[in-house]
Structure 1
Amino acid sequence: MDKKTSSAPSIWRVNLTPAVIGLIPAAVGINYVAKAFAEGLKLPVWLGSLGTFLASMLAGPIPGAISGFINNVIYGLTLSPVSTVYALTSIGIGIAVGVLHAKGGFSSARKIFVSALIIALVSSVISTPLNVIFWGGQTGIAWGDSLFAVLVANHVPVFIASFGDEFVLDILDKVVVAYVACLIYKQIPKKMISYFKD
């Protein structure tokens, strides 16, 4: 085996250090509060993946995916039962953020935007079938559902209309969350970040 390859750090390696173990519930809490805040104010975004973004950026895709999964389960048990099925979406988001961050996808404003679009696409691909099954294709966000209604009225297939509904919302949500997460990440001292990498 090539020595250089074997010694390269893997983004899939998970060291359950005290820092990582503490990060996961903190990320879950951030997700929970942000999502409840957005729903309470009826914002046109969900914000419920902020903690997932931070966990994936700090510790890699697996802790991020775990944080998102746990949040959806808890949120589903306490505030919105159907939220639990979207744990699958949160897993996808956590993995996408972790991989993109490791590849330098959050190193500049332009790259953050492109990464947010990719994450929005991942989220939409996973969420659309769930929206069709549980909500007839809608998302529960008024302006996105207005687009869905227009598309369906113009004889666009429900699945495609649902994807359009989800994707336009995901673009706004993930762009906002990506920039906020990066802003927070840049304020964290490098020494503290290293605790999650070791």
Structure 2
Amino acid sequence: MTAQFSLNPWHLSPQWRIGIGAAIVAITYAGLISARPDSVHGGVGGPAALLALCGYTLGAMLIVSGAVAGLPTTTVALLPVAITINIVMGKIVYFSGLPLQLDSIGTVLVGVLAGPAAGAATGALASIVVGMTITPGALPYAVTAALIGFIAGTLARAGWFRRVPTALLAGGVIGVFAGVVSAPITAFVFGNAGGTVGQSAVIATFQAYGNSMLKAASLQGIIADPLDKALTVALALTLLAGLPSGYVHRFPFVQRYRVLAVHRLVPRGT
């Protein structure tokens, strides 16, 4: 019997794909931080932009492929709906000019219902879809979107979404991590001009007071993102409250970790 070997990375196990993807993301992040370009990089053709686009997109795609491989049909069917919610809400807020995003509602919803891997896959897929079809600048942020879904699922598993106060606190925690991870992308890839008009105005204000590009982007993220993600969680909980208990009951993650209030774990009519 002849052994067959394949160099195709997609034949790796889901765990290996997620691990390699996460490693690529970490190396890309470290590369941006260590390079610290101090001037505008020349847009999407500059070295920093290419590093972020290639590293984050490849890492996100590997993470998505590994995460989706183990998802049940019920969860996979929810992904297109969640991604659509992200895109629609994100565009509405973008054109409003507010220093918010609200483009992760579907990501948080899936993370709470189906766990960290499903949440990460939803966030990354949404950014990749937007980046490939509407706004190329969304591609580097796929890693941030994946992190949002992963943390939402992790905190849901720990019971933070059983009560509204702790769920909103979870949103704040998610926002801090999202702000820190996004800052190097906003600063070094887009010259602090890649967000909404409101976000750019806040960053410009911080820079006017002598803060560096990275520090200005980090301050904006740490201040605005926790509020943004708390509102995101509140809206996700509102959508979740409107779902039939029987549908929510179909997700094994909800049952196994009792992520929601007890009355939400009992299907209607039982």
**Which whole-Å deviations, capped at 9, do the CAs of 1:81-113 have from their partners, x for residues lacking one?**
010110000110001100111112122232122
Task: Say whether residues 1:52 and 2:107 are aligned partners.
Answer: yes
Q: Is the 8 A contact 2:79 2:110 kept in 1?
A: yes
Range that drifts further, 100-109 or 78-87: 100-109
Q: Do the aligned residues in 2 keep the contact of 1:120 with 1:170 (CA within 8 Å)?
A: yes
TM-score, structure 1 as length reference: 0.85
Cα deviation, 1:127-153, whole Å, max 9, x if unaligned, reads 011111222234533343333223222
Q: Which residue of 1 aligns with 2:178?
A: 123
Q: Output aligned runs, 1:138-149, within 5 Å.
A: 138-149=193-204
Q: Does 1:92 align with 2:151?
A: no
Give the partner amino acid of 1:55. Answer: V
In 2, are the aligned partners of 1:116 and 1:178 still within 8 Å (CA)?
yes
TM-superposition CA deviations, 1:32-85 (whole Å, max 9, x none): 121122223334321210110111111111111111111101101121101011
Which TM-score applies when normalising by structure 2?
0.64
What fraction of aligned residue pairs are identical, expressed as a percent? Answer: 26
Count of residues in correspondence between the two structures? 187
Letter in 2 for 1:151: F
1:22 matched to 2:111? The reply is: no
State the match for 1:151 in structure 2: 206
Consecutive unaligned residues in structure 2, runs of 5 or more:
1-66, 254-270
2:166 is equivalent to residue 104 of structure 1: no
Distance 1:104 1:18, change over 3 A: same
| Stretches (4+) displaced over 6 A | none
Does structure 1 residue 132 correspond to structure 2 residue 187? Answer: yes
**Match for 1:188: what amino acid?**
L
CA root-mean-square deviation: 2.1
Pick one of 162, 169, 178 that aligns with 1:114. Answer: 169
Q: Is the 8 A contact 1:139 1:165 kept in 2?
A: no
Quick one: distance in 2 between partners of 1:156 and 1:42? 23
Which is greater in Rg?
2
Q: Give how far 1:126 is off.
A: 1.1
